[in-house]
Amino acid sequence: MKTKLFYVVMGLALGLNPLKAQQTPAYLDDTQPIEVRIKDALSRMTLEEKVKLCTAQSKFSSHGVPRLGIPEIWMSDGPHGVREEILWDSWGNAEWTNDSCTAFPALTCLAATWNPQMSAIYGKAVGEEARYRRKDILLGPGVNIYRTPLNGRNFEYMGEDPFLSSTMVVPYIKGVQSNGVATCVKHYALNNQEAWRGHIDVELSDRALNEIYLPAFKAAIVEGGSWSIMGSYNKVRGEHACHNDLLLNKILKGEWKFDGCVVTDWGGAHDTKEAALNGLDIEMGSYTNGLSSGKNFAYDNYYLASDYLKGIKDGTYPLSGLEDKATRILRLIFRTAMNSKRPWGSFTTEAHYDVARTVAEEGIVLLKNEAYKKKGTILPLDGNKYRTILVVGENATRRLTEGGGSSVLKVKKEVSPLTGLQTKFGDKIKYTLGYASGSAAYDSENEATYNTDSLHAEAVKQAADADLIVFVGGLNKNHFQDSEGADRKSMALPFGQSELINDLLKVNKNIVVVLLSGNAVEMPWVKNIPSILQAWYLGSESGNAIANVLTGEVNPSGKLPFSFPVKLADNAAHSFGTISYPGDSIKEIYKEDILVGYRWHDTKKIPALFPFGHGLSYTQFKYGKAATDKNNLSGAEEITVSVPVKNIGSVKGKEVIQLYVGEEKCSVLRPLKELKSFQKIELAPGEEQTVSFKIGVGALKFYSETAHDWVSEPGRFKLYIGSSSTDIRSTVSFILN
């Protein structure tokens, strides 16, 4: 009797017929299939309620249907952690005391692991934190292609290669969504710079679009099953990406059969008609505090709000479009906020710190490690060899989880590189700032501005008396560095770091350089530095991970997910004048076409400083001769190529075996070679393993602009197996019939 009474009361509360309320409404019953629940909910909703679903109600939430008990959708910036709470209608901090998260490594570091297992544990952990904080959407991951080392948001993405990005993004998505939290893959598409990002109109070939810039998004949707996707700010072929017929209607929802929600980047919508017709589902924005600022464009005045409702009522816009939007939004709500089976999540646990540290350790790249004075390599560091180790550089102590735009994090713990080294070496560690930037250029303790010349001179003075120098520099999250909203102004290290390194070398050549950045930097001193580590932005466990790799407790195994050019002019995007980057402020043409990153360096024979896929180890790996199981390939067949790999060093280590494919002759321009597979293996000293790859015809195709489809041409192909895109250890050829 109580159960029946409960549903009668509930039905009355929700405006339902009490005579039919003795059973749970289908939309509230999550034992029912989602599509049944959607149909039932739609049948009960008013036109106004359906339109309401399509817009924001606060800075980070969109409308639900309160009358029916359907909750709003809550979002959080990502993808490296869950952003602190902010106020309802402004960007001010809410000043909660329980929203200090775990900071996971930046996605450049995750990509540098070349290990899909790392993506899986990363995604699961950050998804648990989002779920604990009651978020329905985590705004990430980002898979825009690294086209230029000046892009301020490269640190949020997964590098220059579409195959690597595609492989690494899928486990991340599945890990996050296993918590009942949606990923929102971003920024779709061609958000490859911050300069004029709100209006720059990108022109490129269909080949470049399909071969380079779309594959990772497609993998995220088709293989990863992402429940939402974020449109980018820029235009693509004349239409803003957030309501773009080609990208959203034809490709995303047409070819890829995407059944989730398209969400604007904040303020990314510009026109009601395009938003109504060209595939947008949820419009988010930054215009109003709801009271004073932005009153003329408060939430009810968004493009998909009152104007859209009026257009639906007067027949300007089809009702079927609204039904589709509402269907997708309800599907997202039922997958997340109204999914009673999703786990509770967890927050800032030791397990999450372990994940952050493990990913960081596996993503750190040993760029260079040559013998110093013929006495062997400096790395791994042996503390018994040194009385004093001088750590120099602002990044040794700077909090690099702060700044950077929307990826900013308020963290419970962030171990600095200096602290990590002090934990290992105790009072052998001495520290001097050496250089300062931004807020760090102000000495708050003494209420004075640092004299940068004095910092420089003091570092050089102390370096002369040190046994070893560990220089910790790179970039930070300041404007015009690795930060949303602006691109870098040059590839040079800022704040006089290169000049400082050169002066340190004059008094002490026993130097290890540790670079923290999400972008390639110029290294005019590279020939004189024996050991260089690329350590990215590593999050909460940064210092511990760096110290573990420097000391050899962890053998480095990261590989570069993008090329480090010698100079900016060697990068493809910068080889065709300003119309190719950053454009003329209105339009930009991708003149390098498909030759992005190592494809450019290889094909044009322009050596990189450090090539794509490069990364050293404290051990050595010997590759044997590659062999295939057949010399000819046709139809649906696959060819298997195998290569033995042996650890011939003295310590256990991990190696990434990379397989590239190149076609010797083709009717169109093709890169010399392209990454088509890779495996990361671990070998003990003396251990050997045979690594096998399967290659089918699909991996040999290019996108034909005449056929408007993927095609292959008969001919001879070469398989390159190596430790990087240039360190090729074995090749073998076969014929495609």
Query: How much is the average pLDDT of 483-507?
Result: 96
Q: Which residues contact 416 (CB under 8 A, 6 or more apart)?
A: 396, 397, 398, 399, 542, 543
- Dihedral angle sign, alpha carbons of residues 664, 666, 668, 673: negative
Tokens of 403: 């700044």
Task: Kindly report, residue by residue over 616-674, the tens digit of the pLDDT.
Answer: 999 999 999 999 999 999 888 899 999 999 999 999 999 999 999 999 999 999 999 99
Token pair of 507, please? 């008094």
Q: What pLDDT score was predicted for residue 6?
A: 43
Residue 8 pLDDT > 60, yes or no?
no
Q: CA torsion, points 695, 697, 701, 707, in degrees to nearest 10?
A: -170
Residues with catalytic function: 265
Q: Which tens digits make up the pLDDT trace of 458-479?
A: 999 999 999 999 999 999 999 9
Report the C-alpha gap between 109 and 96 in whole angstroms. 29
Tell me which residue has tokens 């910790």.
Answer: 472
Judged on CB neighbours under 10 Å (0-12, 13-18, 19+), 709 is exposed
Give the contacts of 449 (CB within 8 A, at least 6 positions apart).
441, 442, 443
Q: What is the pLDDT of residues 677-732, one digit of tens each?
A: 999 999 999 999 999 999 999 999 999 999 999 999 999 999 999 999 999 999 99
Write down the mean pLDDT value for the chain. 94
pLDDT, tens only, 365-403: 999 999 877 778 999 999 899 999 999 999 999 999 998
Report which of 596, 544, 545 is spatially closest to residue 575, judged by C-alpha positions: 596
Domain boundaries, the chain: 1-30, 33-64+260-335, 356-560, 619-736
Q: Per residue in 431-453, pLDDT tens?
A: 999 999 975 565 555 567 778 89
Classify strands 182-188 and 228-231 as parallel, antiparallel or unpaired.
parallel
Sorted by sequence, the CB contacts under 8 Å of residue 454 that are 6+ apart come out as none
Sheet of 365-369, strands arranged across: 365-369, 531-534, 511-516, 468-474, 389-392, 429-432
User: What does the pLDDT average to over 351-363?
Assistant: 98
Q: Are 563 and 126 in contact (CB under 8 A)?
A: no
Query: Of the ranges 20-34, 399-413, 557-571, which is most confident?
Result: 557-571
Dist CA 555 CA 544 (whole Å): 14
356-560: what fold? Rossmann fold (3.40.50)
Dihedral sign from CA coordinates of 270, 275, 280, 284: positive
pLDDT in tens, 643-657: 999 999 999 999 999
> For residue 148, is pLDDT > 60?
yes
- Measured from the Cβ of residue 260, the count of other Cβ atoms closer than 10 Å reads 23
Q: How far, in Å, CA of 150 to CA of 235, rounded?
A: 20
CA-wise closest residue to 518 among 86, 133, 156 = 156
**Residue 569: pLDDT band by 50, 70, 90 thresholds?**
very high
Question: How far apart are alpha carbons 66 and 56 in whole angstroms?
Answer: 15
Whether the CA torsion 448, 454, 459, 463 is positive or negative: it is: negative
Say which residues have a Cβ less than 8 Å from residue 109's Cβ, sequence separation at least 6: 359, 360, 363, 364, 536, 537, 538, 558
Encode pLDDT of 398-431 as tens digits: 999 998 888 999 999 999 999 999 999 999 999 9
pLDDT digits (tens, 9 = 90+) for 93-117: 999 999 999 999 999 999 999 999 9
Q: In whole angstroms, what separates CA 507 from the centre of its chain?
A: 40
Per-residue pLDDT band at 15 (split at 50, 70, 90): low
Q: Please report the pLDDT score of residue 21 as a whole number.
A: 47
Task: List the one residue out of 564, 507, 506 whose CA is nearest residue 532.
Answer: 564
* Whole-number Å distance between alpha carbons of 621 and 685: 10
CA distance 681 to 669: 34
Using the structure block, give the residue that is written with the tokens 């679903």: 53
> Topology of 619-736 in CATH?
Immunoglobulin-like (2.60.40)
Q: Specify the DSSP class assigned to residue 258.
A: -
> Residue 232 and residue 217: Cα distance in Å, rounded?
12
What is the 3 state secondary structure string of 162-208? Answer: HHHHHHHHHHHHHHHHCCCCEEEEEEECCCCCCCCCCCCEEECCHHH
> Is residue 192 pLDDT above 60, yes or no?
yes
Q: Mapping DSSP to helix (H, G, I), strand (E, B) and coil, where does residue 700 land?
A: helix
Q: Note the pLDDT of residue 374.
A: 73
- Residue environment code for 108-121, b if the CB has 16+ CB neighbours within 10 A, otherwise e: bbbbbbbbeebbbb
* First vs last C-alpha separation in the chain: 74
